[in-house]
Structures are given as structure tokens and as C-alpha cells.
Amino acid sequence: MTTPLTILNDAFGFSEFRPGQSDVIDQIMSGGHVLAVMPTGAGKSLCYQVPALLLSGLTVVVSPLVALMDNQVAGLRTNGIAVACIHSGQSRDINVAEWRRVAAGEVKLLYLSPERLMTGRMMSAMTALSPSMFVIDEAHCVSKWGPAFRPEYAQLTELHERFPDAVIAAFTATADGATRDDIARTLFSGDGKIIVQGFDRPNLSLTVTPKTDRKLQLARFMNGVRGQSGIVYALSRKNTEEFAAHLRAAGHKALPYHAGLEASVRFDTQERFMAEEGLVIVATIAFGMGIDKPDIRFVYHTNLPGSLEAYYQEIGRAGRDGAPAITALCYGLDDVRLRRQFIMDDGAGSDHQIRELRRLDALLSYCEAGSCRRQVMLAYFGETAGPCGNCDNCDNPPEMVDATEGLSHILSTIQSTGSRFGQAHIIAVARGADTARVRQFDHHELECHGAAKAMGSPYLQGLIRQALASGHIDMDIERFGALTITQKGQAVLEGRETYACKAIQTSRKKIRKRAKTETENALSERDHDLLLRLKAKRMELARALGKPAYVVFSDATLIDMSAKRPDNAEAMLEVSGVGAVKFERFGPAFLEVIAQN
């Protein structure tokens, strides 16, 4: 009898399931609906690909991006699995040929976009085929409670009613409790299991730095990761172009990516990123969801993301191979103002705006945390953990200091100027600046003018950031980011409470360099030389196929191959990630490299 483990070994070349995979597969094989929340790199694709090969009928995989579909399909085909894909990026002739294979029962998996699946014609055709399972990838896009709702996903709610005998299996790496419940209710009326594997990505280091000079800070960071593949996220199209040019001038291989570029340019950029080592993409959030490159070594944010969920998803693109990767976020108060402005301008209704503002507050709390950042992040998703030892706060625990005097000067200045001004003017008045704007409003005559003269602007900026995160100060977006005093702040201003915060950094932080994995460290110098030769052969084969390198073999497979040094077919099949089909296609070429080393 064929079992999931047999399929895993024969088709995919793995000897055992990762934690959490069996639970999801068992639920599907029992005919039950499931929402699986699994961290990036946990192997969620296998959770539906293995059952798809065991179920009697067709499995339809709904995926949001062409690139995501193409990468999945390429990987399956190299494993000898019958799969079809229909999308707008292919010619009509190819799509027709793919559909004919589906209609003839020649494939087990069909990849479609939600828009194409939910057309009347396709739904009628699906009714005739009676699929065994519908898989909803990136399922957080279904929920209006989530930060990444996509209207085209809303129609997927019809699948449960129209195909009552089909299993609905939804997968995401990013969903808080409310979003998870909403997805399950939306897709299968709550009649199924929600399996949360966890959100922890212990191989990702976490660092947050206050903004001083974005270009200079980016340059310093990049000096620590030179020659490695990574993503730099910027808020605007203009910034992606500027930062990419800035990095190229500093000797980095860097390309911009944003929605304003021609489709062919975006495609070529993405293909280069997948195939080349050491390429840096400077991008807006338009880049990433369709990327399944396992060896991204860093993700750097030059601006504040929209929420902690969005940040988690974006940094999750790093280190999918399980090796150490660096994530860093640089932000300032102007980011907070912009993000709040985006939310207020969204026009999606007061409930949605309140929800998004709370999400932004949670992200600010993460940024200004004085304790382990991983603990703060996991607590947001409902998990507990001990200190991680892999974030800036664990490496250098911030000193907590009494900042009552400084905050009192800021609060007094906000109150005396009528709670009508943003941070730049408040700091100017508090420090006693003599500018045209200060004189325009006669603020040089106020008692608070110059009260904080001994305190530097960077210190006061950091103090305002922390007070904003702690809820002592608020920001009025309708009045262009004017700072206001909350009840907590009023208590400090009136002397009823003191204020402690983490010591404010005004000098540069040391950038952490990536450490090698334990597996890499275990390789001898001779084995490491072999690993480099195997990677070169993989790149050669991948380029000949026109596919990303990992489609041939993953880094983990090549590392295992370097350590085991198989010298025949039987030994090669014992390498993790080498199945029968992949061995037949690629094995002899790698055996030859090993024999020559």
C-alpha cells in the first residue's frame, strides 16, 4: 500500500517528514478541511503535494502570482510529477494544451490564479471533473481581518458550497488569531481544523535601528553582507531606483524592482535574482510573494512596514534554507506619520482603520522594545518563548533609564504650543531654536523655549519615538502629524508618574555578520571545495533549463552530498532531497563532479 511516507521518499527524496507536516497530511487524507499556519521554510508545499499524489482525483492549487506558480510547477516537474499550470503569462496555445491534459486525467495537480478559477466557464468545467481537493495558498489574502486582503480571493468562499465533497486545504505563514478564525469561517464555515505549527524562525537575527541617514546606514549594513543575496525594501519607487544606484556605485550587484517597471524588466530582474549569487534587489513590497529562493541571506527595510504581520512575511523571505540570515529595520518618526496617513486615507471604514492603527501600534512596540524582540513578535501571534539570543536586544540588552525630565520638557512644549505641531517644531522650541517659524508663532517667548537645550536632537527624537510606542504621546494625522498628549502622558506632565525608557542610542550600531550553519562548519576544507564545485554544476544545469538553481537541488542537498560523497546510484539516493526521478535527470552529472574531486 502506498503511504505518504512512501511518496515523500520516492517522489521527493526525503526520508522523513518535518515537524507538523504529518498532522496536516493526516487531516487531509481523512477528508477533513484544514487551515495550516506554518512558518516559511517549514515545508508547507509538501503538505498538499504529497496527498495530491495519493487522492484519486485532481487537486487544484490556487496561487496569487504567476512567478509563484511557475516556481512550484518547475520544481514538481523535475521530480517527475504530472502537473499543469494555466495563467496569463503563457500563450493561449500552451494554456489550451495544459487544459487538455487536465481534462484527459493526465495530471494530478493544476495550478490556477483565483481570477481564472472563479470564471463561470472554469467552474462549470471543474464541476465535471469533481476535484478531490482545493488548495488555497497565501490564504491570509482571503481575510478582511488581515493586512493583505485581496478582493479577487473573496470569491473562493463559493468553493465549499459548490464542491461539498472536496477537501479545502488553506496555507499561510502569516495570520494572527482573528485572521485565522476568519479564514476558517470563510473557506469552510469553521468545519475543519486550524493547525498552527508556529511562527518562530530562530535562524533569523532581528535588529532595529533608528533612522539617522538612510543611505549611510544602508551602506554600512551592506558592507557586512557584501557578496550575499538579499532584498532591500524601500517605500517608494523613486527610492528603489536611488538606493540601487547608490549600492552599485559602492560595488554591489544591485537592481531596482517596482510595479512601475516594464513587465519584461521585472521578469528579467526576478530571473536574475533566482539564478545569480550575490545579487541584491532593492524593491517595493511588489517584490517577494512569488519568490522561493532558499538562500536569501538578508532582508533590510529602509522604512517602517505597514504592520507586524507584513514585516513577518517580508523578513520570512530570508533564510528559507534554514541557514542563518540577517533582518534589519531602519525607521524614524516620519515613517510613523506616513503609515498613519496611509491608513487614514484608505477610506475602508472606521473599523478597518482602527484595526490597522492597532496593528501599527504593535509594530511600534516591537521596534521600541527593550526586551527580546523575538519574544515580542511571537507574543503578538499568541506564542511564548524564552529570550532568543539572536536579536540586538539579547546581544546588547538596553539599559533602562529615568527619562522623566526629558519627556516632561517635550510634553510641556506640546501643551504650550497648543498640540498643533509635529516633532521637528516641538524639538526646535524645546531646544531653544531661533528660527523664522519659531518667531512666526511667538514660541520664543514661551517658558518652555530652551528648556531642553542641553539635550541633543537625536536624543529627543528617540525619546518621542519611545513615548509614542508606550502611549504617552499620540499623533494626530488629520492635523499633519501633530503631537498630542495622552492620559498617560498627562500623568507624567503633572508629576503624578515618572517615565523610564531604554537608553537612547545616538551612535552607530555594529552590524552582525552571518555565521555559517553548523552543517557548513562541519565540512572539512576538502568537502567545502567540493560543495563549491557542486554549486557550480547546479548553476550550469539550472541555466540550461532556464530555471532557478534550487529547482535542481537545494543547498541542504548539496551540503549533504558533499559530506557523504556518494560514488554510485544507490549511495546518491541516500542523499537527502535526491529522489529517483531527480537522480535519473541530474545524478550522473553530480557523481562525475564528486569523482573528479
Find the CATH number of the domain harbouring 436.
Answer: 1.10.10.10
Which triple of cell numbers denotes residue 273?
535574482
Spell out the long-range contacts of 486-492 with Cβ–Cβ below 8 A and sequence spacing 24 or more. 489/407, 489/411, 490/411, 492/404, 492/407, 492/408, 492/411
What are the pLDDT digits (tens) for 131-172? 999 999 988 888 866 556 677 788 898 999 999 999 999 999
The residues, any chain, with a CB within 8 Å of residue 42's CB and separated by 6 or more, are 18, 19, 20, 21, 173, 197
Mean pLDDT, residues 448-467 taken together: 89
Q: Which three cell numbers stand for residue 233?
A: 525594501
- Residue where one domain finishes, among candidates 502, 537, 562: 502
The answer to whether residues 64 and 108 belong to one domain is yes
Whether 213 and 192 map to the same domain: the answer is no
Residue 434, exposed/middle/buried by CB under 10 A (0-12, 13-18, 19+)?
A: exposed
Same structural domain, 151 and 253: no
CB 352 within 8 A of CB 342: no
* Interval 3-34: pLDDT, tens: 999 999 988 888 899 888 999 999 999 999 99
Alpha-carbon torsion (211, 212, 218, 223), positive or negative: negative
Residue 507 lies in a domain: no
The number of domains in the chain is 4
Indicate if 224 and 277 belong to the same structural domain. Answer: yes
> Angle, to 10 degrees, between the axis of helix 237-249 and the axis of helix 214-223?
50
Return the bridge partners of 62, or none: 112, 136
Q: What is the pLDDT of residue 501?
A: 85
Please, are residues 576 and 560 in contact by the beta-carbon 8 Å criterion? yes
Query: Are 245 and 390 members of one domain?
Result: yes
Does one domain contain both 542 and 431? Answer: no
User: Taking 70 as the threshold, does the pLDDT of residue 228 lie above it?
Assistant: yes
Residue 566 shares a structural domain with residue 471: no
Taking every pair of Cα atoms in the chain, the longest distance, rounded to a whole number of angstroms, is 88
- Say if residue 508's pLDDT is above 70: no
**For residue 333, which of 403, 425, 409, 419 has the smallest C-alpha distance?**
425
Residues 369 and 459 grouped into a single domain: no
In a domain, 300, yes or no: yes
Structural contact between residues 148 and 313, judged by C-beta atoms closer than 8 angstroms: yes
| Residues 6+ positions from 93 with CB-CB distance below 8 Å | none
pLDDT at residue number 349: 63
pLDDT of residue 397: 85
Spatial separation of the C-alpha atoms in residues 51 and 166, rounded to whole Å: 13
Q: For residue range 286-343, list pLDDT tens digits in order.
A: 676 656 788 899 999 999 998 888 899 899 889 988 889 999 999 887 888 888 888 8
pLDDT tens-digit profile of 240-252? 999 999 999 999 9
Characterize the bridge pairing of strands 473-476 and 482-485.
antiparallel
pLDDT digits (tens, 9 = 90+) for 337-378: 888 888 887 766 677 777 777 788 888 888 888 888 998 888
d(CA 121, CA 51): 27
Percent of the chain with pLDDT over 70: 93
- 359 within a domain of the structure (yes/no): yes
**Is the same domain home to 44 and 10?**
yes
pTM of the model: 0.71
Nearest to 318 by CA among 421, 469, 206, 397: 206
HSE at residue 543, side-chain half, CA atoms within 13 A, is 11
Residues 160 and 131 in one domain: yes
Q: Give burial (CB, 10 Å; 0-12/13-18/19+) of 345.
A: exposed
Query: Could you give the CA distance from residue 450 to residue 446 in angstroms, rounded to a whole number?
Result: 9
State CA 547 to chain mean position distance: 23
DSSP string spanning 146-182? STT--GGGGGGGGHHHH-TTSEEEEEES---HHHHHH
Helix (H), strand (E) at residue 139: none
CATH number of the domain that residue 267 is part of:
3.40.50.300
Stretch 200-211: mean pLDDT, rounded?
92
- pLDDT tens track for 524-568: 667 778 888 898 898 888 888 877 777 888 878 888 899 899 999
Among 502, 534, 566, give the residue marking a domain's end.
Answer: 502
Q: Alpha helix (H) ranges present in 151-284?
A: 159-162, 177-188, 214-223, 237-249, 263-275
Our CA dihedral for 260, 262, 266, 267, rounded to 10 degrees, sits at 150
Residue 344's domain comprises: 204-395
- Asked if residue 519 has pLDDT above 50, the reply is no
The verdict on residue 510 lying in a domain is no
Which of 230, 255, 231 shows the shortest CA–CA distance to 241?
255
Number of H-type helices and E-type strands within the chain: 27, 17
Domain boundary among 471, 502, 533: 502
Cα separation of 502 and 439, whole Å? 34
| pLDDT band at residue 36 using 50, 70 and 90 as cut-offs | very high
Q: Kindly state whether residue 178 falls inside one of the protein's structural domains.
A: yes
> Which residue did the predictor score with more confidence, 60 or 579?
60
- pLDDT average, residue stretch 239-266: 93
Q: Does one domain contain both 559 and 544?
A: yes
Strand partners, 430: none
Q: Is the pLDDT assigned to residue 114 strictly greater than 70? A: yes
Q: What is the pLDDT of residue 515?
A: 42
pLDDT, position 290: 58
Domain with residue 536: its CATH number is: 1.10.150.80
Residue 175: band (very low, low, confident or very high) from pLDDT cuts 50, 70, 90: confident
Indicate whether 511 belongs to any domain.
Answer: no
In terms of domains, do 241 and 269 share one?
yes
Residue 160 forms part of a structural domain:
yes
Alpha carbon distance 552, 43 (integer Å):
17
120: burial class by Cβ within 10 Å (0-12, 13-18, 19+)?
exposed
Which is more confidently placed, 382 or 586? 586
In a domain, 512, yes or no: no
Give me the pLDDT at residue 320, please.
Answer: 85
More confident residue, 271 or 78: 78
d(C-alpha 60, C-alpha 49), whole Å: 11
CA angle 491/493/499 to nearest 5° reads 70
Start-to-end C-alpha separation, the chain:
41
Tally of CA atoms within 13 A in the half-sphere of 218 that contains its CB: 28
Quick: pLDDT tens for 433-443.
999 999 999 99
